[in-house]
Structure 1
């Protein structure tokens, strides 16, 4: 289980370093790199989407997941938790002066939560380690997250470190559950799961780049539905 621990630690370390350096990092770097991270998120999303096997199943999962997410107001829930986390962190550590409004802070923070917690690399890296004890994917993700958290922490502050908590929890659950779930999956189910995550990653990239503020957190329930829907579609619709 070393992968989730290293990945979570990289976010904490990166956040502390980035928040501490703050204005010491050149503005052109603080402005340009998030755009690069957003583009990388979209590229990763495309790489995952092209693995799709059953397009109707993935679309149905996204629609159902989005509906459930809107009903449960997942985006707003994460925003409320983010505000409380920011208050707790700033009560202990001094807040840096920033030009971000609360709305801008929440916009970037929620996008980071999805980027760190629901990325294809993190999901499949956790599942891979659970099945094979190979943590190489999560180690690679840890390196990327180290720099990502550092850059965003220059404007969002120490609050970015809090994201390590849900990320570790999700990765541990995936790692432990993979041994029970993956033996019952098919390559088609895994491919459609990958494609569904790719759509979410693509939307996250748009959000990070400031192109379109997709409510990406409300799409997360789709990841729970896509495999069962894919299995049903393959067996009863395609298989006849």
Structure 2
């Protein structure tokens, strides 16, 4: 049973609802401060994942080519367009509005979409949960996601809670596919996969904290390339 996937998605949903309802009481300074803290937490998780890297050339090559593919496919622009179409009707139904400008809204929404749905921690945690039954990584992520969703929902509104839907679908599919994926991998491939996810989480942290607006969504194809590249590099070397 995908306990970790369910717990993580429920935490995002509950955090989004709570943050949207209590947003005005939290105060802008507190929200800004906690947003910076969550950005740093994301960077920390990213760094802890990156140090597990085994084949640096393979990981770097995957990130570069993956980002190039994402740019050519305009993944971030397409996600932003879809999010913009969803945001308007949700705001009308929930009778709420965002406090931020359109550009700020889209930048923050893309960041949390990647953080919740496509982080290395979440993807690896879902795979590990599916093959070993160990839900520790996903449950640990759920705790961070609960508060992160609440903080972002304070400014973005109820749409943050809806991120739980694509998150559950993605992590649940990975959970189901774990039995097929994991037996074909090696410890070195998994380490490089985790490191690649760490790079994306580090970039996400910079973006959340407002330090640098990395095109995180466009970097996502790297996650699909890194394990094959790691295996090829190992065979060559």
Matches of 1:97 and 1:203, distance apart in 2: 25
TM-score, normalization by structure 1: 0.95
Please, which runs of 5 or more residues in structure 2 have no aligned partner?
Answer: none
- 1:119, CA displacement in angstroms? 2.0
- 2:202 aligns with 202
Tell me if the contact between 2:11 and 2:142 (Cα under 8 Å) persists in the aligned partners.
Answer: yes
Question: Following superposition of structure 1 onto structure 2, how do residues 147-186 of structure 1 map, counting pairs within 5 Å?
Answer: 147-186=147-186
Question: Following superposition of structure 1 onto structure 2, how do residues 84-163 of structure 1 map, counting pairs within 5 Å?
Answer: 84-96=85-97, 98=99, 100-163=100-163
Matches of 2:120 and 2:71, distance apart in 1: 22
2:157 is paired with a residue whose SS is helix
Tell me if the contact between 1:85 and 1:162 (Cα under 8 Å) persists in the aligned partners.
Answer: no
Q: Aligned in 2, Cα 1:141/1:97: closer, same or farther, shift over 3 Å? A: closer
- 1:104, CA displacement in angstroms? 0.5
Tell me if the contact between 2:111 and 2:207 (Cα under 8 Å) persists in the aligned partners.
Answer: yes
Determine whether 1:30 maps to 2:52: no
Q: Aligned in 2, Cα 1:97/1:57: closer, same or farther, shift over 3 Å? A: closer
- 1:97, CA displacement in angstroms? 5.5
Deviations 1:190-235 (A, max 9, x none): 1111111111111111100111101010000000000001101100
- Please identify runs of 4+ aligned residues in structure 1 that moved more than 4 A: none
Equivalent pairs, count? 236
Matches of 2:118 and 2:226, distance apart in 1: 14
- 2:189 aligns with 189
Indicate the larger mover: 119-128 or 44-53. Answer: 119-128
Deviations 1:23-63 (A, max 9, x none): 11132211100100000111111111111111110111111
Please, which runs of 5 or more residues in structure 1 have no aligned partner?
Answer: none
Matches of 1:38 and 1:164, distance apart in 2: 20
- 1:89, CA displacement in angstroms? 0.9
- 1:175, CA displacement in angstroms? 0.7
TM-score, normalization by structure 2: 0.96
Determine whether 1:225 maps to 2:231: no
